[in-house]
């Protein structure tokens, strides 16, 4: 999933209704024996006004406990109410309820004809869809949706619209002859909702191992289309081998002028600017492809928590880095995200995560859960973890599954009792704080007795903590596992060679809060701090006022003095009084600042037409970070305001121009001082190679 966008779309009213129904009617459960509801839709649509005439024939199963009823958007007017049915306003704002009049027998079909302006949740009611296309989903209620929880749908949809407009949805495409353009989509595999997306697309198509692949682009760009279609082949093959067969009839990249990034059944909707960034092909794009398995192939039970984002992040974003040998630093980055943005006030357990609506919720539902899946893998072993993934997918394909079903699945595969694991990591908030309190050894007759004291803050977590021990016999350390379940614990090791050093969690395998000094200062720490102030001098006040007001949680201070409050600081302007403090600290880190510009170890940048952002730890006894922003010109400030939240892991950034465009970035070195003890300075130390989850890659060459 894209770092900058909410990639797994949720129909907010729909899932709220689903959760409510689950609470009110728990006996309905999520019965997998119920057949999906099938829609036969005929739609005549005028894109410029979003006015549509619709006929929908619904085929559904009757139930022993009452007849079926549906919701339809209140802005749509029925030509007539079919005999035996009635329509009335719903208690849910903006919807009408269609239900059967009390009868001895429940019908199994319902045909409705209705018309009106379709609701596009991304647009204001006055906006025209003509300039940005249209996007209708379950949240639009452009088709009748059942009130029952955990329902699934299949459909056939015929859409008539004027040239040169194209309509896109799930399933297989067929273009028919007739006046204007008539396109049909048929989705035989169950999904949660129906999508209808349209614009003036240029269509590219290929077939890969019997699977149709599309690219719907807003311009004719053969090279861009070819890149995305060829890349999709590699990742679809990769995840089919890793998890199981691709679940839908086709896969499509759909370009969106609204700059979104969503993963839906059988397609991804990604913004125009986004798809033209070269790194997206092997970062956000595979994440969206994988959502066809997790989230759109197996549906999360939101009442238990949305596990699909963390699972997708683990098997896309993380696994692809792990295959490059960069799994450990990537996991540390995720630990930093949680530490930067989550605090006691905004924390909540994973069982309460439904979708991302803030940096804190993203750090919980993505970063924390990614780490929890990594620990589950360590708990059951790689082979059983992979077997469990395949079994979970095969068992619940096109069905709903929550954490309860997931726990049972991995228990049956591994033969282990995972109740304590799931209770602690899924249903409990917080993260452990761990440090190596003491380490010492004594020698006796060629044997070395190593003693470690590990401390964990209250309330304690039960976990398996790796420790690496280096000795004089080898520069490659040896990994051991410590079982933690107390605030303070002592551990002993008998070694045949003298210890050189020890370090806890050397690969960042455990979800925890990085210790003091271990986490280098980063921009995300300033954004995520609970107390944040912005400091401006009088001569910089007008230029940076909007920036300061957008980031300061507590106060914006206009001063030439320095009575700075506790917490993190935003510091603006090249000539701020804190300039000398920053320059002094930056020099210690190898960065030179003078009247001409800024010189790093390998590059130099002038002040002219360049913007600089530096985040450092506050000096003295003040806790928190301070971020110094020097804009190249006033025109660059709106772009910096928009872009900087996406660079949270970095300690220094350089941008060029008014756009502005990032030219240089990096993180400060970390120091796991609270996690290690070095007995012999200068002795060579290296980590054993960490085996990735799988040996095969999406693109072997």
pTM beyond 0.85: the answer is: yes
Domain boundary among 397, 426, 455: 426
Note whether residue 289 is domain-resident.
no
**Which DSSP state fits 412?**
H
Does 444 lie in the same domain as 389? no
Does 345 lie in the same domain as 417? yes
Q: Which residues pair with 627 in a beta bridge?
A: 570, 615
Does 527 lie in the same domain as 642? yes
Give yes or no for a contact between 184 and 176, defined as CB atoms under 8 angstroms apart.
yes
Alpha carbons 662 and 642: distance in angstroms, whole number: 13
pLDDT at 541: 61
Does 545 lie in the same domain as 513? no
Q: Which residues pair with 115 in a beta bridge?
A: 53, 77
pLDDT at 390: 98
Give yes or no for a contact between 255 and 275, defined as CB atoms under 8 angstroms apart.
yes
**CATH code, domain carrying 551:** 3.30.379
Alpha carbons 215 and 206: distance in angstroms, whole number: 9
The domain of 458 spans 434-517+674-678
User: Nearest Cα to 625, choosing from 547, 699, 685, 567?
Assistant: 567
Tokens of 638: 């709106």
Note whether residue 469 is domain-resident.
yes
Domain boundary among 395, 426, 457: 426
Note whether residue 16 is domain-resident.
no
User: Nearest Cα to 426, choosing from 448, 444, 404?
Assistant: 404
Note whether residue 20 is domain-resident.
no
Alpha carbons 433 and 495: distance in angstroms, whole number: 28
Does 95 lie in the same domain as 162? yes
pLDDT at 559: 55
**pLDDT tens-digit map of 143-163:** 999 988 889 999 999 999 999
Does 470 lie in the same domain as 337? no
Alpha carbons 72 and 270: distance in angstroms, whole number: 28
- The 3-class secondary structure across 246-273, one letter per residue, is CCCCEEEEEEECCCCEEEECCEEEEEHH
Note whether residue 306 is domain-resident.
yes
Give yes or no for a contact between 74 and 116, defined as CB atoms under 8 angstroms apart.
no
Note whether residue 213 is domain-resident.
yes
Give the count of domains, the chain.
4
What mean pLDDT is predicted for residues 309-326? 97
pLDDT at 619: 83
Number of Cβ atoms within 10 Å of the Cβ of 65: 8
**pLDDT tens-digit map of 527-582:** 988 888 888 876 666 778 888 888 887 656 655 555 577 788 999 999 888 899 99
Note whether residue 533 is domain-resident.
yes
Vertex 190 angle, CA 246 and 34, to 5°: 135
**pLDDT tens-digit map of 269-314:** 999 999 999 999 999 999 999 999 999 999 999 999 999 999 999 9
Does 509 lie in the same domain as 407? no
| Maximum alpha-carbon separation in the chain | 96
Does 85 lie in the same domain as 228? yes
Chain position carrying tokens 């066809």: 292
Pairing of the two strands 37-46 and 261-264: unpaired
**CATH code, domain carrying 354:** 1.10.390.10
Does 65 lie in the same domain as 40? yes
For residue 128, is pLDDT > 70?
no
- When mean pLDDT is compared across 34-38, 409-413, 513-517, 692-696, the lowest value belongs to 513-517
Note whether residue 280 is domain-resident.
no
pLDDT at 9: 31
Tokens of 260: 């979104």
What mean pLDDT is predicted for residues 206-230? 97
CA distances from 49 to 95, 117, 131, 132, 465 (A): 21, 7, 11, 12, 60
pLDDT at 262: 87
User: Nearest Cα to 246, choosing from 194, 291, 192, 186?
Assistant: 291
For residue 51, is pLDDT > 90?
yes
What mean pLDDT is predicted for residues 65-72? 86
| % of the chain residues with pLDDT over 90 | 74
pLDDT at 471: 97
Q: Which residues pair with 504 in a beta bridge?
A: 467
For residue 203, is pLDDT > 60?
yes
**Which DSSP state fits 692?**
P
Torsion sign, CA atoms 311, 312, 315, 321? negative
3-state secondary structure of 509: coil
**CATH code, domain carrying 171:** 2.60.40.1730
Does 46 lie in the same domain as 162? yes
Residues 301/74/80/138 CA torsion (nearest 10 deg): -30
DSSP string for residues in 562-594:
----SSEEEEESTT-TTHHHHHHHHHHTT-EE-
What is the pLDDT confidence band of residue 429, given thresholds at 50, 70 and 90? Answer: very high
**Which DSSP state fits 316?**
I
Does 419 lie in the same domain as 443? no
**pLDDT tens-digit map of 461-504:** 999 999 999 999 999 999 999 999 999 999 999 999 999 999 99
| % of the chain residues with pLDDT over 70 | 91
**pLDDT tens-digit map of 634-664:** 999 999 999 999 899 999 999 999 999 999 9
Does 230 lie in the same domain as 89? yes
Torsion sign, CA atoms 331, 667, 564, 517? positive
**Phi, psi at 631, each rounded to 5°:** -80, 140
Domain boundary among 260, 288, 321: 260
């Amino acid at each position: 999933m894209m770092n900058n966008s909410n990639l797994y779309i949720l129909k907010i009213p729909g899932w709220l209704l689903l959760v409510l129904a689950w609470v009110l009617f728990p006996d309905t459960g999520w019965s997998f024996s119920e057949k999906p509801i099938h829609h036969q839709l005929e739609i005549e649509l005028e894109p410029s006004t979003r006015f549509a005439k619709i006929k929908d024939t619904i085929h559904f199963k009757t139930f022993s406990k009452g007849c079926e009823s549906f919701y339809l958007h209140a802005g749509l007017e029925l030509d007539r109410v079919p005999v035996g049915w009635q329509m009335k306003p719903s208690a849910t704002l903006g919807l009408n309820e269609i239900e059967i009049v009390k009868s001895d027998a429940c019908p199994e079909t319902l045909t409705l004809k209705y018309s009106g302006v379709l609701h596009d949740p991304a647009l204001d009611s006055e906006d025209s869809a003509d300039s940005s296309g249209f996007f209708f989903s379950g949240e639009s209620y452009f088709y009748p949706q059942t009130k029952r929880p955990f329902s699934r749908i299949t459909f056939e949809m015929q859409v008539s619209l004027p040239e040169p407009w194209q309509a896109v949805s799930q399933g297989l495409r067929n273009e028919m002859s007739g006046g204007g353009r008539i396109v049909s989509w048929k989705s035989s595999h169950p999904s949660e909702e129906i999508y209808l997306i349209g614009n003036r697309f240029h269509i590219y198509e290929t077939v890969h191992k019997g699977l149709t692949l599309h690219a719907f682009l807003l311009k004719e760009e053969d090279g861009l289309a070819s890149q995305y279609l060829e890349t999709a082949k590699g990742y679809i093959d990769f995840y089919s081998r890793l998890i199981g067969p691709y679940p839908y009839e086709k896969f499509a990249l759909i370009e969106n002028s609204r700059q979104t990034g969503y993963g839906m059944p059988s397609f991804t909707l990604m913004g125009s600017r986004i798809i033209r960034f070269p790194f997206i092909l092997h970062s956000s794009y595979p994440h969206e492809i994988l959502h066809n398995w997790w989230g759109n192939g197996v549906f999360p039970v939101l009442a238990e928590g949305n596990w699909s984002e963390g699972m997708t992040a683990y098997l896309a974003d993380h696994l692809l880095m792990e295959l490059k040998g960069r799994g450990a630093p990537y996991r540390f980055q995720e630990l930093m995200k949680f530490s930067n943005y989550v605090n006691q006030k905004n924390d909540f357990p994973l069982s309460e995560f439904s979708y991302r609506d803030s940096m804190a919720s993203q750090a919980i539902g993505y970063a924390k859960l990614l780490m929890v899946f990594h620990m589950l893998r360590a708990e059951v072993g790689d082979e059983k973890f992979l077997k469990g993934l395949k079994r979970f997918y095969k068992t619940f394909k096109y069905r709903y599954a929550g954490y309860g079903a997931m726990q049972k699945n991995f228990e049956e595969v591994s033969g282990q009792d995972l109740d304590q694991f799931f209770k602690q990591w899924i249903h409990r908030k917080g993260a452990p704080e761990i440090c190596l309190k003491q380490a010492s050894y004594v020698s006796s007759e060629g044997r070395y007795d190593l003693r470690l004291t590990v401390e964990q803050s209250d309330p304690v977590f039960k976990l398996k903590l790796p420790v690496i021990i280096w000795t004089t016999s080898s520069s490659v350390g040896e990994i051991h596992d410590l079982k933690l379940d107390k605030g303070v614990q002592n551990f002993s090791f008998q070694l045949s060679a003298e210890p050189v050093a020890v370090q806890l969690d050397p690969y960042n395998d455990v979800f925890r809060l990085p210790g003091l000094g271990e986490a280098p200062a980063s921009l995300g720490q300033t954004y995520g701090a609970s107390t944040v102030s912005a400091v401006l001098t009088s001569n910089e006040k007008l230029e940076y006022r909007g920036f300061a007001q957008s980031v300061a949680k507590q106060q914006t201070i206009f001063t030439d003095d320095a009575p700075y409050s506790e917490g993190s600081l935003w510091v603006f302007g090249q000539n701020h009084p804190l300039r000398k403090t920053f320059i002094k600290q930056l020099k210690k880190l190898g960065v030179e600042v003078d009247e001409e510009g800024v010189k790093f170890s390998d590059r130099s940048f002038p002040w002219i037409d360049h913007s600089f952002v530096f985040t450092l730890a506050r000096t003295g006894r003040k806790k928190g970070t301070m971020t110094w922003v020097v804009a190249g010109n006033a025109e660059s400030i709106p772009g910096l305001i928009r872009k900087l939240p996406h660079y949270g892991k970095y300690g220094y950034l350089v941008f060029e121009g008014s756009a502005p465009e990032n030219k240089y970035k990096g993180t400060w070195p970390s120091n796991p001082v609270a996690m290690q003890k070095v007995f012999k300075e200068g002795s060579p130390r290296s980590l054993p190679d960490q085996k990735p989850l799988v040996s095969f890659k999406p693109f072997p060459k």
